[in-house]
Amino acid sequence: MSVTIAGITFEHHEYDERGDVLYLSTAGYAGPPARAYAAPEGHNVEYDEAGHVIGMTLVNVRWLLDRDGELMITWPAGHVRAAELAPALASAA
């Protein structure tokens, strides 16, 4: 099951329930990211050499969704709705 945020489909996801951290990555990219962006909210966005988003690390994800119903990411798109992350979080419930 994939997760789509701001038009980017992340085919791989892993939720660390204890740390409340969601790791997302796209298919077809191997190796470390070419660069990363640390959003002011504490999330991380990773890019390949061409500048395409290949991964995201979202922190306090369930806590923020329970509190606000969405997750703020200061990056090309601003908000991630609870429904967009539901597939990735459902497997941990």
Residue 77 has pLDDT above 90, yes or no: no
Other CB atoms within a 10 A radius of the CB of residue 82 amount to 16
pTM for the full model?
0.78
Residue 88 CA, distance from chain mean position: 10
Rounded Cα distance, 60 and 22, in Å? 8
Give the pLDDT score at 68: 94
Mean per-residue pLDDT over the chain, rounded: 87
Other CB atoms within a 10 A radius of the CB of residue 34 amount to 14
Q: Which two tokens stand for residue 21?
A: 């951290």
Residue 92 CA, distance from chain mean position: 15
Other CB atoms within a 10 A radius of the CB of residue 81 amount to 12
Rounded Cα distance, 34 and 18, in Å? 29
Give the pLDDT score at 88: 81
